[in-house]
Structure 1
């Protein structure tokens, strides 16, 4: 179910039968990402006749007004008006206060009617595009008010990040959700896992025997993950000053990418085997003491740009004048497992850096120079997976120079996502919705991975809270971060591959 195959030049897709309810159905995420992504699934044939979409929020709307909202959100994606109209005819709206159990009666009545009208077989997905404080409340009422069906093939819950703000809050949320849903019914969204080039990590690792055999301490010097942004806080100080780069980018996106890089080889390519392989790595991640945090992690806060065109973080609107918030984090991860013994995983993420980039650099060992004179220019081979803003794979290898005397030089082999492939690539949210409909949890975070990431991040934040920074701001806007981040790698005899 859900597989796509070609018949001539026409793509035919197996239909998915489901009722999808969006809590926060009039919000920005729904309009920008969720409805266009659902429409793309419709155009590809995954949603045909046996589906219905329910939007829910506190806003007062008729079905017709809600359908117009959806039409407006998919206007740029529509092939023709008739097609778009047919799609939105499957949309319905219920005004709901998610904190009031009485409001769920209207939702239940509508769901049951739609289930019968579209022959949905009791299959239901509930998508929480609301403030995190409502996640547990909604889950509890979905069960107590009878919206979870007994006769369906599936009932699933999709949850936007953040999943808690610490291990303690995440554990509390997990307990609340577990009262209504089993863990294999909970799909925790990290849209980075839906990115095409993140999904390319698995076939690169496991589909090429050369890389598969070399993906370990015997051949790899270090692995680097960079998530750099050129923008500053951009009016989000209310949220960002309580989260910082550590909680906003490291705990979720970075750690989930690390999962694909550090995982053991799964027994097969099923979601259960993939999660088990990732958890073998997550459970081996070293949680640092305060002293180890000081040795292995660097924090930063951006200052003004060199030309004065960009202000420092402390001068941003709504940022406290004495804020200790980190807008940059760099650190070294260590895994206590045979595969990675002694191999550092370096990570960094920050705002107001020199370039926007999400990338992975796998630095292989240089090996012994057998060439003598002429082989002095041997470099560490590097496999680079460029995720954003351009999808690309680069492999820097040692080769011969063209001079008459024998000399070596590095050469880079490059593959880039073509325009035609890019046009066919599902957006991360489209992929996540489709995977959830198919019951594929491969690209969703499970509780074990989330809990380990929070324990790791909490240890860092607690150490920083105990010892306030005295050098903020410590990097210039438009640079690649504080000098201490370069020194962190230099201590090990390494350097960042991506210079910005």
Structure 2
């Protein structure tokens, strides 16, 4: 178990929604569970004018995201402070540095600083530059770490440019690129399921696996994010970051140890082994993009994507993206991977499905069900693991039906399962970068995604409409080889696919 050293957390963009909704509640949970070090403080930094007391009221004392006794919240809030930067983030940080040194001395945080950049990416470089001008990247006395939020670039070129800008001021080992998806227990459990169980790891290859399927579905539309989403789209927003990280965990070879760099080395190899698609004909056959249309759900009309606030009425931005691809290495040769992500689906769900091959010799051919074994790893909601296998129906003959063997995280009872930001913040505090993306990982993911985006941008690829509340374009199943089809999951892990009731 790693130790959590005394430290000061500095949050840039602290007046924003993320700080109040996610970061401070996560810190409060860590405080509640006694994970924070003895000497610890938080300094919020932004351009809005606030006193320390106003900041405490906003993010803790009067927060709707923190529920506990007033006395305990008040004790926690005494660790929170605020510094106004003025009109710009690109100013001298001399005054900020003076405040940091005062808090460092008062709270005995041993010159250990984490700088959390909860700001637009355009501010990463000026903030890093101005911190460096004050010597706040120098690790001769205490360590210094920089946490940045996605998006990590808009393309391979912009990602490389961002990495180069940051590397001018901070070393790679000091930079933590946060992806909240990797903070989910069920994502991390992919590694344990694979490498801690001899019933799975020997089968985790092309000899036994027919194909791999990943679904990320959201029931909501773009809500108030229309302006951002219309410049991004489903492929940039979810596939390039969150979902390719899931792919890396599934594809990677066993690391030499549980050391963070060993795991990240194997994830990098996995991402670099994805077969690049550059031929227009291959891209046409192996990618589908769609956009949700106005529809009626539960008796209420919902807008189509082009009707959403801040969205171009002629927009061709995809809200549905499905990609079929292959992995060019010994373990996965010729095994197709199918990954889809979309808005306005029938339910909110993220899951990985490992489809095992059928037995070579079929002796129960009269059975009317698909007997392929499946391993379903549910990321959210109803988190857990499900194994689907054939069982004999009692009675004469050999009628086979589907059986489920399942495990649910909710069955762990009173065990506190950390939320993603709790886990990731604690890892950064302890210097554990296992669940953080490295620069070369980010660039490898963009290298695979860029040709798809370029092909779609050229306007040759059709964009299909689908009614809000259905499982994407009608011909989406055509992407899957043979007679296969997507597993359209229900809200609960053990729901059989087919249709999903909209809640």
Pairwise TM-score range, normalised by the shorter structure:
over 0.9
TM-score under structure 2 normalisation? Answer: 0.92
Q: 2:221 aligns with which of 206, 211, 232?
A: 232
Cα deviation 1:447-486 (Å, max 9, x = unaligned): 121111112221101111123455x552111110012321
Shift of 1:445: 1.0
Instruction: Check the 8 A contact 1:369/1:378 in 2, yes or no.
Output: no
Instruction: Name the SS of the counterpart of 1:30 in structure 2.
Output: helix
Residue 449 (str. 1) matches residue 436 (str. 2): no
SS at match of 2:42: strand
Aligned twin of 1:380: 372
Q: Is residue 391 of structure 2 the alignment partner of residue 417 of structure 1?
A: no
Q: Secondary structure at the match of 1:426?
A: coil
Aligned 1:325-474 pairs, distance under 5 A: 325-372=317-364, 377=369, 379-418=371-410, 421=413, 424-470=416-462, 472-474=463-465
Structure 1 match to 2:180: 191
Shift of residue 115, structure 1, vs aligned partner: 1.6
Other-structure match for 2:47: 58
Q: Give, in angstroms, the shift of residue 398 of structure 1.
A: 1.8
Deviation at 1:370?
4.8
Distance 1:149 1:68, change over 3 A: farther
**Cα deviation, residue 316, structure 1:** 2.2
Q: Name the SS for the 1:479 alignment partner.
A: coil
How has the CA–CA distance of structure 1 residues 407 and 75 changed in structure 2, closer, same or farther, with 3 Å as cutoff?
closer
- In 2, the alpha carbon distance for the partners of 1:444 and 1:230 equals 27
- SS in structure 2 at match of 1:208: coil
Displacement of 1:206? 0.7
The 10-residue stretch of structure 1 (80-89 or 165-174) with the greater mean CA deviation from structure 2:
80-89
Output the CA distance in 2 between the equivalents of 1:85 and 1:388: 33
Distance change in 2, residues 1:229/1:79 (3 Å): closer
SS of aligned partner of 2:93: helix
Match of 1:7 in 2: none
Match of 2:492 in 1: none
- 1:236 positional shift: 1.8
Distance in 1 (alpha carbons) for counterparts of 2:212 and 2:305: 30
Note if contact 1:98-1:137 (Cα within 8 Å) is conserved in structure 2. no
**What is the TM-score with the length of structure 1 in the denominator?**
0.93
CA distance in 1, matches of 2:147, 2:93: 18
SS in 1 for 2:386: strand
1:475 aligns with 2:466: yes
* 1:351 to partner: Cα distance: 0.8
Alignment match of 1:148 (pick from 137, 140, 143): 137
Contact 1:52–1:91 (CA under 8 A) maintained in structure 2 = yes
- 1:144 and 1:98 mapped to 2: Cα distance? 19
Equivalent residue number for residue 172 of structure 1: 161
Secondary structure at the counterpart of residue 199 of structure 2: helix
Moved more, 415-424 or 146-155: 415-424
Structure 1 residue 73 displacement after superposition:
5.8
Which residue is equivalent to 2:493? none
Q: Which residue of 2 aligns with 1:295?
A: 285
SS of equivalent to 2:301: coil
Written as runs of structure 1 = structure 2, the 5 A alignment for 1:257-296 is 257-289=246-278, 290-296=280-286
Aligned to 2:6: 17
Which shifted more, 60-69 or 248-257?
Answer: 60-69
After superposition, the C-alpha distances for 1:41-78 in whole angstroms (9 at most, x for unaligned) are 11222224311110000111112222222323656645
Q: Please list every run of 5 or more consecutive structure 2 residues that lacks an aligned counterpart in the other structure.
A: 489-496
Deviates more, 1:145-154 or 1:245-254: 145-154
After superposition, where does 1:24-43 map in structure 2 within 5 Å? 24-43=13-32
Q: Which moved more, 1:176-185 or 1:90-99?
A: 90-99
